[in-house]
Each structure stands twice: as structure tokens, then as C-alpha cells.
């Protein structure tokens, strides 16, 4: 069931850093596919498990965000277990190569006190356009590669102090702007880059550091910013923010980390105008009972916010907000999303809902219809399946599965215990 309501808005801004790099390597590999079996490959869903792509090297125990470039027929996965960006050919669903630079390696999985530390690990966010690949790393750097040659073209240090990861990112439709989030910095910030499409390089002298006003995201409480998305309808970036101060407004105040006995604060979406160098944060749009990680743009400028109970306890739904009117609908019985992705080819949203509450089915791939905003189905996934991307030309959805023991959902999907990238087939609308 969906309900439509109306929401609010308020503003903020800031400045920039520098740096470079060179050289490269790409590792080739062989394809390995396994049959889809078990709960993660149901026979009664519209979204069908097609195959599983094996990833060579170390078992897939650590990974982050993924991305599809349908024009190149390529899927990219930030593979921390193998310290590179894995490339899968989406026309054949085979492993193509791994992009990395041995002289400037990705951080991989970094452990602190015996526990994997997300804030320092890498690669993290990935995005591509043409032959250009942009990947964030755990040392606060953005690394830029030539996909064809595998060459590392540039390294840019975004200046987090102490260094923490450059996470999720998005590009404008014309490729002119790139926005990357330093989600683990305190306070968190985004860096806006001007991009030269021919060379793939970012303008180091033009990079703009963007921070929300402390009245919205105060420092010292471990608050973050998450997945950005470009909204062509309004020519703005939107960025999901898990928690902001004063949402809802008091009294009494809500808890943004300062007092656990208070009711938790909800999150927001920042609206960023890349042409405004003085006050790029045009609006802060508070969400109603939603602590979002993901953001993706569907039809008519509608933005899905991937609400997550890890940010706000009790989240049992996702939210879709129209970027122009700020009207919104709630998608019930689905939550816990990290990365979310809209696929034009099937007119559906897909959610990497690894934190979906047990009462709602536990970790799932969520499927939401793009016109009606109704939940279509949920497909069981492995506990770490927080990443999802789709090829709109081939109507295939890619979901990384972590290495899991025999008898688990992930092992059934992969047909092995070393992890894989599951490939699902979606019904086509004929739009792409």
C-alpha cells in the first residue's frame, strides 16, 4: 500500500583540495557460472535467477558498491577481497578482468581490532562513463582508470583528516560533473568535480568541498552522507543522508547521537546545484521516518530513498520522493536497503536490502514497480548482499553474493562457497 504526502525544505555550503597519479594493470580471468538453486532462485517470481558469475582470486568476503554501463555491456564491482574493480561482460555474463594498479593498490579489507573497518577499506563507490572508471578508496582518494587499457590515470586526495574512504558517487547525465561522498569523515562531506570527458580527468584546481551546515549535520556524532544520484528533471544531484539534527523538530529534541533516550531523528536528502559555487546545497529535504542509505532516480524525477533500520530503528518501508514537487509515497513491507537502482528497461526499482528486518523476510533483493510504486516481490539473498545494479539494455540485474557455507541462500545461488555475482533476468517493458 502507498500513501502520498508532502514534505519540507531548508539550506547550506563550503570549499576544495588537490593531486594526481599514473600507470596501470588489468588482470584477465576466466568465466565460471553455476546453476541458481534454493530460496534465492524461486520459480514463482517474475524476476528469475539466470546464472551466477564466479569471481577469480580470493573468496568474495568483502565488497562494496557496483555499477553498470549498458553502452559498454559491463558491470563493475568494488571487490575488496581482491583489491580491485571486477569487470563482468553483461552480454555474455562472464568475468572479463580486474582493474587495479600494483604501484597504488586499493586498501582491500582493513581490519581494526580483528573486525573489518568499512571506513578504511576500499575500493568503495564506483561509477563509469565511456572508457572512464572512477573508484573511491579507503585512504580518502579518488582513483581514475582507463577501462580499456586498465591504466591508472589520476589520483585525487579529497582531504579527509584523518583519511577515510571516498564512498558512493554519481555523475551528471552529460558527464560534466562528478559528485563523491566522504561518508566516514567527521563531519561528512562531498566533493564536486568538473570532468574532462575526453581525458577522463577531474579538474584538481576546481574541486569543491561541500559540507552541510552544522545545524543540519553536526560534527562529533558519527553522522554520514550516502548514495548520490543525478536528477535530470531538475539538473541537480540529490544525496541521501541517514540522520539529520531536528527531524522531526522538537521539543523535545530527537536523538541524532547525543542522547539515546530520545526518539531517533530521521534522515533527509540534500539537493545540490553543481553550478552554484557559493551555496551548492540548495535544499535539505527532511524525510518522514526514513533513515536512507541509497538513492536512485526513477520516472518523472521520482527518487527512491533506501530507508534502513540501521539508521532509524523501526523502518519497515522505503520512500519515493518527487524531486520537483516533494510529494512522496511509502513502499510498505520492504526496508534495509543500501544501494538502490532504477532500471528503465523493466521500469522497476531494485534494492540491495541486506538489512531488511527478519519480520519482513530478512536479506532480500527488493523489486518495486516504477509507475505505481508498489512492491512487486522480494527474493532472498545472502546477509551481505547490499549492492545491486542493472543493465537496462539487457534487463539483467546483478547482485554480489558473499562467500557462504553450503546450505545457505548465497551458496545455493552461487553453486559454491566462494561467493559470486548473481544475475537475475527481469521482464522487459520495451522502453530501452
Task: Provide the residue ranges of all domains of the chain, joining segments of one domain with +.
Answer: 4-425
Residue 3 has pLDDT above 70, yes or no: no
409 burial level (CB within 10 Å; 0-12, 13-18, 19+): buried
Residue 94: what pLDDT? Answer: 98
pLDDT at 427: 86
What is the arithmetic mean of pLDDT over 178-194?
98
Express each pLDDT in 224-247 by its tens digit.
999 999 999 999 999 999 999 999
Q: What is the mean pLDDT of residues 172-192?
A: 98
The answer to whether residues 8 and 200 touch, using CB atoms and an 8 Å cutoff, is no
Q: Are 271 and 282 in contact (CB under 8 A)?
A: yes
Give the residue from 108, 133, 126, 119 showing the smallest Cα distance to 65: 126
pLDDT at 23 over 60: no
Please report the pLDDT score of residue 431 as a whole number: 59
- Whether pLDDT at 17 is above 70: no
CA gap 158, 17 in Å, rounded: 6
pLDDT in tens, 133-168: 999 999 999 999 999 999 999 999 999 999 999 999
Q: Which candidate, 200, 211, 106, 123, places its Cα nearest to that of 167?
A: 123
Return the DSSP state at 235.
T
Comparing 11-15, 73-77, 106-110, the range with the smallest average pLDDT is: 11-15
CATH superfamily of 4-425: YVTN repeat-like/Quinoprotein amine dehydrogenase (2.130.10.10)
Provide the β-strand partners of residue 154.
144
pLDDT of residue 430: 55
Instruction: Please give the average per-residue pLDDT across 375-395, as a whole number.
Output: 98
Report residue 429's pLDDT band, with 50, 70 and 90 as the boundaries: confident
Has residue 208 got a pLDDT over 50? yes
pLDDT tens-digit map of 297-327: 999 999 999 999 999 999 999 999 999 999 9
Cα–Cα distance for residue pair 242/225, rounded to 1 Å: 7
Quote the CA–CA distance of 64 and 45 in Å, as a whole number. 26
DSSP class per residue in 165-194: ----EEE-TTSSEEEEEETTSSS-EEEEEE
| pLDDT over 80 at 97, yes or no | yes
d(CA 91, CA 338): 26
Average pLDDT score over the chain: 92
Of the pLDDT bands very low, low, confident and very high (cuts 50, 70, 90), residue 432 is low
Judged against a pLDDT cut of 60, whether residue 295 lies above it is answered with: yes
pTM (predicted TM-score): 0.91
Amino acid at each position: 500500500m502507498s500513501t502520498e504526502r508532502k514534505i519540507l525544505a531548508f539550506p547550506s555550503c563550503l570549499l576544495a583540495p588537490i593531486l594526481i597519479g599514473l600507470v596501470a594493470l588489468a588482470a584477465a580471468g576466466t568465466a565460471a557460472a553455476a546453476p541458481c538453486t534454493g530460496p534465492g532462485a524461486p520459480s514463482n517470481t517474475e524476476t528469475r535467477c539466470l546464472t551466477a558469475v564466479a569471481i577469480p582470486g580470493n573468496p568474495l568476503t568483502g565488497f562494496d558498491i557496483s555499477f553498470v554501463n549498458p553502452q559498454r555491456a559491463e558491470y563493475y564491482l568494488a571487490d575488496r577481497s581482491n583489491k580491485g574493480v571486477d569487470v563482468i561482460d553483461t552480454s555474455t555474463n562472464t568475468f572479463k578482468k580486474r582493474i587495479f594498479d600494483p604501484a597504488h593498490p586499493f586498501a582491500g579489507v582493513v581490519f581494526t581490532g580483528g573486525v573489518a573497518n568499512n571506513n578504511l577499506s576500499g575500493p568503495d563507490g564506483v561509477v563509469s562513463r565511456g572508457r572512464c572508471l572512477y573508484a573511491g578508496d579507503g585512504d580518502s582518494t579518488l582513483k581514475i582508470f582507463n577501462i580499456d587499457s586498465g591504466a591508472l590515470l589520476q589520483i585525487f586526495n579529497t582531504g579527509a583528516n584523518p583519511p577515510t574512504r571516498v564512498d558512493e558517487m554519481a555523475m551528471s547525465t552529460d558527464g560534466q560533473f562528478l559528485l563523491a561522498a566522504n561518508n566516514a569523515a567527521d563531519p561528512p562531506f562531498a566533493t564536486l568535480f568538473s570532468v574532462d570527458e575526453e581525458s577522463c580527468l577531474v579538474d584538481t584546481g576546481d574541486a569543491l568541498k561541500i559540507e552541510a551546515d552544522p545545524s543540519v549535520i553536526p560534527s562529533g556524532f558519527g553522522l554520514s552522507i550516502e548514495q548520490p544520484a543525478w536528477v535530470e528533471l531538475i539538473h541537480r544531484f540529490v544525496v541521501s543522508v541517514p540522520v539529520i539534527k531536528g527531524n522531526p523538530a522538537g521539543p523535545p529534541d530527537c536523538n541524532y547521537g547525543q542522547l539515546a533516550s530520545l526518539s531517533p531523528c530521521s534522515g533527509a536528502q540534500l539537493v545540490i546545484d553543481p553550478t552554484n559555487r557559493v551555496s551548492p546545497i540548495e535544499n535539505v529535504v527532511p524525510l518522514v521516518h526514513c533513515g536512507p542509505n541509497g538513492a536512485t532516480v526513477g520516472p518523472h524525477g521520482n527518487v527512491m530513498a533506501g530507508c534502513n533500520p540501521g539508521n532509524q530503528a523501526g523502518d519497515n518501508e522505503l520512500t519515493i520522493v518527487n524531486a520537483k514537487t516533494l510529494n512522496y509515497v511509502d513502499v510498505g513491507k520492504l526496508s534495509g536497503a543500501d544501494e538502490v537502482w532504477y532500471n528503465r528497461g523493466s521500469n522497476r526499482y531494485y534494492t540491495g536490502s541486506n538489512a531488511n528486518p527478519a519480520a519482513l523476510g530478512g536479506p532480500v533483493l527488493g523489486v518495486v514497480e516504477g509507475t505505481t510504486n508498489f512492491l512487486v516481490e522480494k527474493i532472498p539473498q545472502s546477509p551481505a548482499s547490499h549492492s545491486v545494479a542493472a543493465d537496462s539494455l539487457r534487463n539483467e540485474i546483478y547482485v554480489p553474493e558473499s562467500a557462504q557455507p553450503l546450505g545457505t541462500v548465497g551458496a545455493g545461488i552461487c553453486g559454491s562457497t566462494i561467493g559470486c555475482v548473481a544475475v537475475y533476468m527481469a521482464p522487459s517493458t520495451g522502453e530501452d
